[in-house]
A and B are shown apart, each in its own frame.
Chain A
Amino acid sequence: MTNAPRQTTTLPTAPGVGYKPQHYSAIIADPRPVAWLEIHAENYMGDGGRPLAQLDHLAARFPISVHGVGLSIGGEGPLDRDHLARLKRLCDRVQPASFSEHLAWSSHDDAFLNDLLPLPYTDATLARVAAHITQVQDTLGRPMLLENPSSYLAFAESTWLEPDFLRELTRRTGCGLLLDVNNVFVSATNLGFDPRGYVDAFPLDAVGEIHLGGHDADHDDHGAPLLIDSHGAAIADPVWALLDDVLARSGPRPVLVEWDNDVPDWPVLADEARRAQQALARLHPALRAAS
């Protein structure tokens, strides 16, 4: 019953983790159950030294997902050609199983804000982001995955719903999508929509990778819950439940556990990956029953 994914990634349909250098020795000693690693591209754009040496070792042993956090695909101006060239160099070096970036902007004129900032979903944004994705794919010579953001607010001028906006981007550019399930849950809570309705509307056939991460809880001016996509905590139970829903509909996909702040010791992260593995394993009887 599941849709075959488009060939936008060759990551295994198994758990991966966001790689942190402090886990290097533990991963080399025993990576189980982690089958692949994701790196933040910008941390490996120095000229040399330990980061690149470690990356070469890891890339020889694991499928690598290169995940960009600084390209500003949603930015109003043109893409930074120097940065695109750096991404190309990194991809040529690592030969990653996947390259992904965010539906967001992070730079404007000369300033880089080091955060993933939100976009209005309008026809103009759609055209601009589609052109940028095409430029990235042409430069890298490979399809990319685009990740749904976590939202804290909405734009009055938006005329597209996010899943439709992303679907239209895949249609125009042939890119795949990276579905961050925690982001769906965070955005749904913050903006008051049903996360399952979002998943229903999401083009799951285009999903080449799934992200899971932890969030923090705050509240807005009216006392309404405001969840913050902190990547600094364990994955919340409702997010695990939403993952089950997604996987039941999408079929097996590569699932990544992200933990970027207050990074725990390796066994804690490996346990989160184990839980993702169990979620994937639960699929098999369901798949047999459906066929």
Chain B
Amino acid sequence: MTGRVTGLIDDFLPALMDPDRPVPQGLQDGQGRPAGRRFNVYRNNVTTSLIAALEQGFPAVAKLLGPQNFTGLARAFLQDNPPQSRLMMHYGAGFAEFLDAIPQLAHLGYLGDVARLELALRRSYHAADATPLDPAALGAIPPDRLPATRFTLAPAVAIIRSPWPLHAIWTYTMIPGSPKPQATPQDVLITRPDFDPETHPLPRGGADFIAALMTGRTLGSAHDAGVAAQSDFDPAPILGLLIAGRAVTGLSSE
């Protein structure tokens, strides 16, 4: 910007994000002495509020890491990834990939997937409302028309795919008394029947089936996608989950 009196904000911002940088010139106390640690109030406010936002957004990751490790990682993340949005509900979009890339966390290989699940839960929570389809409308479709039927799913619906027992890890971490995870891969379906997102572990083929529906493929084509992943794939329980989760908002037949 030309004609600007000062480049102060250009100095202020880097010093704010990096505690090793000197306090910018021209900042003082009420008596004209250099501001010194007064500047740290802003540093602390920014860092503390962003760490708190990450902790609130990724409670299972925070639990799995413990407070000290989480705070250290969150601090490292936010220094290179200040929010790009003014809406803190969106903060942390790259946190899962950041965790994936840290060699010291290799022994917690599932951590990134847990972060992806938590981000998806947060997005589901804030997703647009949608009126679910009356289940009777689905029952009214003649059986011979079913394969050519397409579904519209609610904006709050998501699937997270994982080679880890993701659903079990998440529930074991977040819900007291949940069983210990077994070593089986789990894809997770998120639905939001009312205002609270729900998680459901999917059998093999389930995520392929739902992903096909989400991209507008017909029920028959989605069924094929499920069978390609698991030869005896049965779509009925998955459709049951979607209907119970008020996830189906529209139908169309060719």
Query: Chain A: residues with CB nearer than 8 A to chain B?
Result: 42-43, 45-53, 70-72, 75-77, 80, 83, 105-108, 110-115, 117-118, 120, 122, 124, 152-157, 190-193, 218, 220-222, 224, 226, 228
Contact = CB atoms under 8 A, between A and B. Distances in A.
B127 interface: yes
B70 interface: no
Nearest to B82: A111
Contacts of B107: none
Pairs A-B, 9 closest by C-beta atoms? A46-B126, A191-B30, A192-B30, A70-B86, A50-B195, A47-B128, A48-B129, A153-B35, A221-B36
A55 to B, nearest CB: 12
B88 interface: yes
A124 B88 CA distance: 30
Interface string B60-72: 0000000000000
Contacts of A71: 86
A51 to B, nearest CB: 7
Nearest to B192: A49
17 contacts: A42-B88, A45-B89, A48-B155, A49-B125, A49-B129, A52-B129, A70-B86, A72-B86, A83-B86, A105-B9, A106-B86, A108-B13, A117-B16, A154-B28, A191-B29, A221-B36, A224-B29
Interface string B39-58: 10110011001100100000
B86 A48 contact: no
Given A49-B192, A124-B5, A110 B88 contact: no
A72 B9 CA distance: 13
A156 to B, nearest CB: 5
Contacts of B36: 220-221
Contacts of A118: 42
Contacts of B1: 76-77
Given A49-B195, A114-B53, A117-B12, A43 B89 contact: yes
Q: Chain B, interface size: which category? A: 35 or more
A224 B126 CA distance: 44
Nearest to B9: A76
B195 A108 contact: no
B46 A115 contact: yes
Contacts of A224: 29
Given A49-B127, A53-B195, A120-B6, 15 more contacts: A42-B89, A45-B89, A72-B86, A76-B4, A110-B84, A112-B84, A114-B50, A114-B88, A120-B26, A124-B4, A152-B35, A154-B28, A190-B30, A191-B30, A221-B38
B240 interface: no
Contacts of A124: 3-5
Contacts of A53: 129, 195
Contacts of A192: 29-31
Contacts of A190: 29-30, 38
